[in-house]
Amino acid sequence: MLEYSVTGKGIPILLFHGGHSGCLEEFGFQRLVESGYSIITPSRSGYSSTSPIKDLKQACVNYKLLLDHLAIKKVHVIAVSAGGPTGIVFCSLFPDRVLSFTLQSAVTKPWLTPDDKVYKMAKRMFRPKTEKRTWKMLAAMNNLLPKLTFRMMAQSFSKLPFSEVRKRLDSQSIEMFRKMNNRQRSYSGFYIDLEQTQQDYSKELGDIQAPTLIMHSQNDSSVSLSHPNHAKTLLSKSEMCILDSWGHLIWIGKHAAEFDAALISFISRYHN
């Protein structure tokens, strides 16, 4: 089974969401829809109602079949965070279906290893049998104390001291973060992500011929700058957009407008 959503009408974008997300993702959608794009978001393998398929190539075949079902020949592809490997493999397997490729805060090489403290903590917190309880507790705390919760979690997303994080936020940032925590779930998908992000995708990156935009925050503590730099060395037709935004969630804060403008400017060049 493959669950998906379609938001907006117009030029199609196939979006591979990040970890703990699904087809109801909202980050980065508004300006794209307003600019005449349609966003097709499948819940990736193991997320929500989508069947858990560990073979990434087979999962990507299913995403291609989704495009066939929707009678869509070519799409712009966006891959977010832990969805980076999915976007990379899809674009390498089906170059004739891809107009452009955008990596957003994306994993592009081996990420959290089993020896990392963050990996071990994630394996405990987001076990498929208990992740629902974890997210309910986090959402309850975030709804009750949104500013405090954001401050407590900011270090997970940003290398900056909180005094600098605060300077890069806008009036909507805390509320957007609260809504994110309310819609997030891991299901079995994040366990699959942890496995797939151990792999080396250098060959697949080297095979990609689509023009590619690599977007990242220089202050990201979740996915280091070594990931966009690695992708840039292997993608033959790529350009970088490194933002001075507050951290990993480049769709939140004062730099979100800069992010939107750069993305729309890039993909508008490659509609044919």
Q: Rounded CA gap, 85 and 200, in Å?
A: 9
Q: Are 80 and 15 in contact (CB under 8 A)?
A: yes
Q: Rounded CA gap, 186 and 193, in Å?
A: 10
Catalytic annotation, pick one of 81, 100, 173, 222: 81
Please tell me the number of Cα atoms within 13 Å of 270 on its side-chain side.
23
Q: Rounded CA gap, 138 and 240, in Å?
A: 34
CB count, 10 Å around CB of 78? 26
Is 81 known to be catalytic? yes
Amino acid identity for residue 254 in this structure: K
Angstrom distances, CA of residue 161 to CA of 30, 107, 125, 146, 217: 29, 24, 25, 19, 15
Residue of 32, 14, 35 whose CA lies nearest to 97:
14
H-state helical runs in 73-201: 84-93, 117-125, 131-144, 146-157, 162-167, 173-183, 189-196
Residue of 188, 194, 200 whose CA lies nearest to 119:
194
Q: What share of the chain is helix, strand, coil (3-state, %, to 5)?
A: 45, 15, 40
Catalytic machinery residues: 81
